[in-house]
Amino acid sequence: MSLHSREIDAAWKKIGMEVRDGRDIHARLYVDDVLILTTRRSKGSGPIGGNIPHLIRQQMRLNQDQFHDLIGCPLDREEYIAILRSKGLVPIRN
């Protein structure tokens, strides 16, 4: 699977990840001010190929279909957090 960096950036923005520019582009997901997960990609505006999309998908704790939905837009922040909750990565609110 090959993606363009703007697709990854748009997906991160859509689900409300905090993105920081450094040596690489780092993205962090916070839920209720708690850091849930981090991922990153290299700087640049071109295609992201090789194994990198697979690694980003794994770091985001998504299966292939869920990742395609995230990139293709049907998956939003609430649904993404629900997936992470079902995997025990985000505590259930009382």
pLDDT in tens, 66-80: 999 999 989 999 999
> Quick one: pLDDT band at residue 94, thresholds 50, 70, 90?
low
Helix, strand, or coil (residue 58) = helix
Angstrom distance (rounded) from CA 43 to CA 74 = 26
Cα-to-chain-centroid distance, residue 57: 7
Q: How confident is the model at residue 1 (pLDDT cuts 50, 70, 90)?
A: low
Q: How far is the C-alpha of 34 from the C-alpha of 70, rounded, in Å?
A: 22
Map out the domains of the chain as residue ranges.
3-86
Q: Which run of H or E residues covers position 83?
A: helix 77-86
**Tens digits of residue pLDDT in 18-52:** 999 999 999 999 999 999 999 999 988 888 888 99
Residue 45 has what pLDDT? 81
pLDDT of residue 39: 96
Say which residue the tokens 């520019």 belong to. 21
